[in-house]
Amino acid sequence: MGGGFTWRDTPATKQIHHKDAKNTKISQALCLCESSCLCLRGEKNVRKMKAVNIAMLGSGFVAEFYMQGLENVNGQRVLVNYSRTEERARNFARKWDIPEYGTDLKPIIRRADIDLYLIALPNEAHMPVSLALARARKHQVCTKPLARNRREAKQMLKAARQSGALHGYAETEVFAPAVVKAREVVERGGIGRVTWVRSRESHSGPHSAHFWDVKKTGGGALHDLGCHCIAAARYFYGKDDPAVEVLAWGATLAHGKKTKGEDNALLVMRFASGGIAHCELSWSTLGGLDLRNEVHGTEGSIFTDVTRQTPIFSFTTKPAGYVVEKADIDFGWTRPLPEEAFAYGYQAEMRHFVECVRGGKTPRETYEDGYIVNCILDAGYQSMRSRRWVRVNTR
């Protein structure tokens, strides 16, 4: 390169070429001088780190959020996108400036230059794709829920462990800045001993048609949204205080023509310490995504509200563009949410998994956590049918 460097900033900005970067305002950029490293150049320091090369498996809703999160993660690059249809793969790769794309997963798994595979596929594809990656001893991270049921999740966990490779469970709720801060308050003893957690996630219904098919997904609102709330409760109580039994209710109140699954559900969990958590899940709540948590202890309480108490409150007489995930209207009184990928935890979890791959560390959320969540969900569905408390079986 004639002694100079070719710099490529994030996909949101144009390419910039510099031979001398000391006067540029770009504080972090991708150095193409070597294929295996990233140069991070600041005004006062220069250091090198190995690039973490990523394969994005999926081109839908969650893959979009993963890419938004990765835009602000240093030392990584997405080299290839896999999608089940060529058109979607091509469009996704073009949108996010991904060099390669394909619809055949086998050659992508065989690649020697990929350090991390992100599974952002529909639920029914999680297990077969994960098992294929485990057989190839590849590092993998899977979106929530880990699987459609406890049996599938157990197979994924066993295979990932036997592979010796990294496995991470991409549960955004426990990476969301507000939730992480709340956990810090708990850890410092600010509210004493946790005794009660309330967690709510609701919206007007899934964005993609396949979510309504419970055979493909594994369940309705409890399965789709409950995994977030269960993870939040486990996070606030601590993983050394397991959920031991659950009581659940569910019914199809609004979307009977679209699904055979429950579109509203309640789940109560009792923890080994005697503490209680209750989760409220709905696919029939209008007004956009509703994410709230309450953590009550012997000495105080904590409240988080990511989507209903945003820093912006507006009234418009005409549509003003995207407001928030699952928003039903984009005019009138609205609460737009800035930087959703940060607020929901996508950026933090992507940074964490990239750093774990680079440093050879175990993620703080692994397939074991995803498996436990699936065990709790299965117990919830058993309770829903029997209308009784059901013990959580994690064996």
Q: Which CATH number is 309's domain given?
A: 3.30.360.10
Instruction: Please give the pLDDT value at position 332.
Output: 84
87-98: per-residue pLDDT in tens? 999 999 999 999
Instruction: Please give the pLDDT value at position 271.
Output: 98
Q: What is the mean pLDDT of residues 258-270?
A: 97
Lowest model confidence (mean pLDDT) among 95-99, 225-229, 288-292, 315-319: 315-319
Q: Is residue 284 part of a domain?
A: yes
* pLDDT of residue 34 exceeding 50: no
Instruction: Please give the pLDDT value at position 312.
Output: 78
One domain for residues 333 and 194: yes
Lowest model confidence (mean pLDDT) among 101-105, 334-338, 382-386: 334-338
One domain for residues 189 and 326: yes
Instruction: Please give the pLDDT value at position 47.
Output: 52
Q: Is residue 167 part of a domain?
A: no
Q: Are 268 and 390 in contact (CB under 8 A)?
A: no
Instruction: Please give the pLDDT value at position 4.
Output: 28
Q: Is residue 89 part of a domain?
A: no
First to last CA, the chain: 57
- Distance in angstroms (rounded) separating the CA atoms of residues 204 and 326: 7
Lowest model confidence (mean pLDDT) among 29-38, 104-113, 202-211, 251-260: 29-38
- Distance in angstroms (rounded) separating the CA atoms of residues 188 and 184: 6
One domain for residues 197 and 344: yes
The two structure tokens encoding residue 268: 């109560």
What single letter denotes the amino acid at residue 46? V
Instruction: Please give the pLDDT value at position 48.
Output: 66
Q: What is the mean pLDDT of residues 178-206?
A: 97
Q: Collapse the DSSP code of 65 into the 3-class scheme (helix H, G, I; strand E, B; otherwise coil) and give the result.
A: helix
Q: Is residue 155 part of a domain?
A: no
Lowest model confidence (mean pLDDT) among 84-93, 225-234, 288-297, 307-316: 307-316
Q: Are 267 and 230 in contact (CB under 8 A)?
A: yes
50-74: per-residue pLDDT in tens? 899 999 999 999 999 999 999 999 9
One domain for residues 39 and 180: no
- Domain that includes residue 11, residue range: 5-50
* pLDDT of residue 237 exceeding 90: yes
Q: What is the mean pLDDT of residues 143-159?
A: 98
- Distance in angstroms (rounded) separating the CA atoms of residues 304 and 179: 7
* pLDDT of residue 10 exceeding 50: no
Instruction: Please give the pLDDT value at position 317.
Output: 84
- Provide the whole-model pTM: 0.86
Give the number of other Cβ atoms within 10 Å of residue 367's Cβ: 27
The two structure tokens encoding residue 68: 């938004």
Give the number of other Cβ atoms within 10 Å of residue 139's Cβ: 21
* pLDDT of residue 30 exceeding 50: no
The two structure tokens encoding residue 351: 């940074």
Q: Is residue 67 part of a domain?
A: no
Q: Are strands 167-170 and 140-143 parallel, antiparallel or unpaired?
A: parallel
Q: Is residue 68 part of a domain?
A: no
Instruction: Please give the pLDDT value at position 324.
Output: 74
One domain for residues 41 and 180: no
* pLDDT of residue 29 exceeding 50: no
Q: Is residue 118 part of a domain?
A: no
Q: How many domains does the chain have?
A: 2
Q: Is residue 81 part of a domain?
A: no
Lowest model confidence (mean pLDDT) among 149-153, 219-223, 244-248, 303-307: 303-307
Higher-confidence residue of 384 and 317: namely 384
Q: Are 283 and 264 in contact (CB under 8 A)?
A: yes
- Distance in angstroms (rounded) separating the CA atoms of residues 16 and 313: 37
- Express as a percent the part of the chain with pLDDT over 70: 88
The candidate with the shortest Cα–Cα distance to 57, out of 76, 82, 79, is: 82
